[in-house]
Amino acid sequence: PPAPATPDTVTSDTDRTCVVCMVEPRDCLFLPCAHAAACVRCANAAVAQGNGCPVCRAAVAKVQPFVWS
């Protein structure tokens, strides 16, 4: 399978779309797995509901926002 998207591996705008809402750009990391899969709104909602990372289902200790360069 392909490697998960992280800020260093995303190569196109479509790669930057949140995998949850499919509308907003991905703008945070799930820590400690460091997957960049969702927008902050969806990430915080997932954590509040007790869900793990949408990529690997690992427990999330923190949602870390970032800005694309």
Tracing tokens 């705008």 back to the chain, one arrives at 13
Look up residue 53 and give its amino acid.
C
Instruction: Report d(CA 16, CA 10) in Å as an integer.
Output: 7
Per-residue model confidence as pLDDT tens digits over 53-67: 999 999 999 999 999
**Which two structure tokens, joined as six digits, stand for 46?**
């997932």
Per-residue model confidence as pLDDT tens digits over 4-50: 555 555 555 668 999 999 999 999 999 999 999 999 999 999 999 99
Instruction: Report d(CA 55, CA 30) in Å as an integer.
Output: 10
